[in-house]
Chain A
């Protein structure tokens, strides 16, 4: 045999055909390149070989025995046979033994890959029968573990451990008693399993299989997950009956998710087929809905909106595509003559964006997910990543396995706290003091990056003076965190053991009346330590919705044109040239101001796309009153939700799986959204609906914009957006299809995209230190009447208000009712146990929920997720007081009282 490993490419012969592979490849890779059907039951195509199943046996000339191909390094000149009689005989024997482990039954549909392999080896029935029987573990809502179909290959345990870093399942016991099981040996539902489905996707026999009836899959369509801002790649299975398979596959080549998924992406796409999808346009007449055709609905909407030119506002959707967002803002600006267009970022990250714009000149996450893994220290502030951004949490766990320090700052004991090297638990609302004290430690101990500060920043002097109050002693007294811990966190952040540090924050920082001060305090910290602008460092506000980045990029904000361009003369002129219509120069209203303007009559018509403000606004009773004042409300969505119930016209939109477009994720990666199935009923893509509406409204205003709203496809819309937005200039659907998702800035067609920002310079030139002040802890603090501090947030199994996830049966099963987290000492005083019904009330409203007694919250604090379940929602309680600078409402903190309800 001619051995030549060093060759650039190696040539092998397999079954008489030649094939080239790269050095490092295995014989199995060579076999698979030729698409020869060789069993490989324990080999996950994107994981290292386990060598457990011994079904990939081949014959190699000059090699004794029948080696396992997955473990055999390929060598130049090897002559391999998969059909050699020895190999086939032994392999058939192994398959026979393997098949003998399983009990056939009508419920099992052919044992997946093993069934196929057995068929090809003409093994109708196995020679032996299994030794033991085990009942099916059906305790999880989306899938079963059926040990009678398990061959103990170990793929599931590896997926859970090495891909997800969860470690819920393992191979327990030895010998013939070995089985897949969980810690403490109980049912799967008793384990830490998060239902991510990574194990189900990899199981070769269907021992782990989704619960829905297996319908044949006709096609697979790669697209982007519609849930959170991580933006994982998912592959939808389209069944022969034109419905989506319940389980989506992961996409190993996706650079943002690298084959990882969480439960929502994997199993949460069923809302597309929900029975209550609105399939036909509707118009309200005499207080009742009437189903009508598109022409009639669009005309009715246009009649109403045209009456209120200039007295109009629009709320765009961070769930819809960039193309949808772009068309909406163009309609608002060019046709409706106002900049009153906003989206939900107001309700989550506007302080971050605002602060970053003031301090650096760009509102985006500076680093890539990859940088979390290369960092030496991760400081995660006010974010429950394991629940809200599970795939980011996996990145954190991978970083920690490599030795990175994890510092968690959170008043609530979120799951990450248990994994952290250091958990700081400041009193809610005292964050500025905490970060200022850390900054002082960094300065006082000489850990500041003097060179970075000198070359890249300004305003350090005034800022430094502003820190005089923030001594460790004072900070310890104000925040309740020990001086020692504050100092340790500062030291690790400024000087991590290796590489750089990433600062990651979530809503816990921003949803406060002092949100913008919080954000500035964090940014100052990153500047003084010089922890941005290189690999393994950076600043990341974790974005909640799939396209919250893109919706802002595309211009659905009242303060800027697409690409965050200002309303200055040259820009306005440029847009006028492109659009043929001049956008107004005055800053528009943000969504919370729009709602106030309904009451004053300043806004009389509203266009709400893919949002449900009557669930997401603070103080819902107040918001309901405001919406009542509107003369015209047009809602465009998938479902008849709380806001839509109030509308005059309902326009049914296509869901993410029913249209083409792009989403931009938290790491600025623009990724393709692809049409897998036809829209439900008459539903249409949002961009199409808005364009039609624009043309009709314009006609009523005596203008013709048919050429300005004449796109024939989402790809044409994207081209216009890219033409007007310098940092997207090099992108197009065709390029994204060819190269996969790319990160902006990507100004030209040959630009590779940008992994991290601020390497050389800031958009402002130099970054600015902005002194951050510790103001009042919150606008509303507990008092004798309302003695508890209410905190709101999200859950793994529900997404935001729950409009989508409530329509996925399995998710409802995992989290069916609204739970109120309460500390054991408070629970004892009220005499309640987990599961007891409670009434929580604030000055604004009340809700009913069920106690969950846990030390995850502090004494005197309650936590309620903001999903709406059984007519109860946290936002009936929350305070509309907002941060004066960024206008974000204070969702995170309000004062409530809690009472026990006698069981109904």
Chain B
């Protein structure tokens, strides 16, 4: 992505201003605007971070902090689907390492990578607040819970 191509449309800029106006401090709108940026530019590159920082008058380091903190911002191009396995304590004890290993093998990629056909990106993430159904993972925007290798196979199979 070249630097020049990073710019919101006029309509999007109006939306940014509307979102900023919703909060007592406009930086409250940082998360939704980062999502807009991710949807528009595909992923949140360092250049996108800098662009968003300039829209808020924030330092790029601050935006980098936010982007690296949350797991739903992608800092590399991602696949059509994102599979994010929780590897935090509850899930770990309930077998998350097994699930992750299974996924890696089946997809032939490591954590953080995307399959060659651009279909799936695999992630390992911190707690997603569904410990009662550990082990669990998030597939795009839905939760898949009480996982077993078989169940994982079926879920992955269905992703196109």
Contact = CB atoms under 8 A, between A and B. Distances in A.
A185 B62 CA distance: 12
A778 to B, nearest CB: 35
Contacts of A419: 57
A170 B46 contact: no
A187 to B, nearest CB: 13
A673 to B, nearest CB: 35
Interface in A687-711: none
Size bin of chain B's contact surface? 10 to 19
Contact of A168 (B50, B61, B68, B71): B61
A161 B62 contact: yes
B58 to A, nearest CB: 7
A169 B60 CA distance: 9
B126 interface: yes
Nearest to A185: B64
Given A167-B58, A167-B59, A168-B59, A174 B64 contact: no
A170 B60 CA distance: 10
Given A174-B69, A184-B46, A167 B62 contact: yes
Q: Main SS of the interface on chain A?
A: mixed
B105 interface: no
A181 B60 CA distance: 11
Interface string A165-193: 01111111111000001111100000110
Interface string B32-51: 00000000000000100110
Most A Cβ at <10 Å: residue of B49, B62, B70, B71:
B62
Residue in A170, A174, A419 with the greatest tally of chain B CB atoms within 10 Å = A170
B61 A183 contact: yes
A183 B59 CA distance: 8
Contacts of A181: 61, 64
A419 B53 CA distance: 12
B129 to A, nearest CB: 14
A171 B65 contact: yes
A183 B68 contact: no
Nearest to A170: B65
Contacts, number: 51
A172 B58 contact: no
A173 B60 CA distance: 14
Most chain-A CB neighbours within 10 Å: which of B46, B58, B60, B65?
B65
B59 A172 contact: no
Nearest to B25: A401
A191 B68 contact: no
B61 A191 contact: yes
Nearest to B70: A174
A162 to B, nearest CB: 11
A161 B61 CA distance: 10
A171 B68 CA distance: 9
A166 B59 contact: yes
A161 B65 CA distance: 13
Contact of B68 (A166, A167, A174): A174
Given A167-B58, A174-B69, A191-B61, A183 B49 contact: yes
A157 B57 CA distance: 17
Contacts of B57: 400, 419
Contacts of B71: 174
Contacts of A166: 59
Given A183-B49, A183-B50, A184-B46, A170 B126 contact: no
A192 B59 contact: yes
A885 to B, nearest CB: 41
Interface string A417-435: 0010000000000000000
Nearest to A168: B61
Contacts of A174: 68-71, 126
Interface string B17-29: 0000000000000
Contacts of A182: 61, 64
B69 A183 contact: no
Contacts of A172: 64-65, 68-69
Nearest to A419: B57
A648 to B, nearest CB: 54
Contacts of A170: 59, 61-62, 64-65
Contacts of A192: 59, 61
A166 B50 CA distance: 15
A183 B126 contact: no
Interface string A365-406: 000000000000000000000000000000000001000000
A578 to B, nearest CB: 55
A378 to B, nearest CB: 15
A183 B64 contact: yes
B31 to A, nearest CB: 15
B53 to A, nearest CB: 8
A175 B46 CA distance: 21
A536 to B, nearest CB: 22
Nearest to A179: B68
Contacts of A400: 57
Contacts of A175: 126
B86 to A, nearest CB: 12
Contacts of A173: 68-69
Contacts of B64: 170, 172, 181-185
B83 to A, nearest CB: 19
Instruction: Pick from A166, A175, A181, A191 the residue with the most CB of B within 10 Å.
Output: A175
A419 B60 CA distance: 13
A602 to B, nearest CB: 57
Contacts of A168: 59, 61
Contacts of B65: 157, 170-172
Contacts of A157: 65
A191 B50 CA distance: 13
Nearest to B127: A175
A472 B126 CA distance: 60
Nearest to A192: B59
B69 A169 contact: no
Q: Which of A169, A181, A184 has the most CB of B within 10 A?
A: A184
Contacts of B50: 183
B59 A161 contact: yes
Nearest to A175: B126
Contacts of A171: 65
Contacts of B126: 174-175
A183 B49 CA distance: 9
Nearest to B66: A170
A169 B70 CA distance: 18
A401 to B, nearest CB: 8
Given A172-B68, A184-B64, 8 more contacts: A157-B65, A161-B62, A169-B61, A171-B65, A181-B61, A182-B61, A183-B60, A192-B61
24 contacts: A157-B65, A161-B59, A166-B59, A167-B58, A168-B59, A168-B61, A170-B59, A170-B61, A170-B65, A172-B68, A174-B69, A174-B70, A174-B71, A175-B126, A181-B64, A182-B61, A183-B49, A183-B50, A183-B61, A184-B46, A184-B64, A185-B64, A192-B59, A192-B61
Interface of A: 157, 161, 166-175, 181-185, 191-192, 400, 419
A-B residue pairs, 7 tightest by C-beta: A167-B59, A170-B65, A183-B60, A183-B61, A170-B61, A172-B68, A173-B68
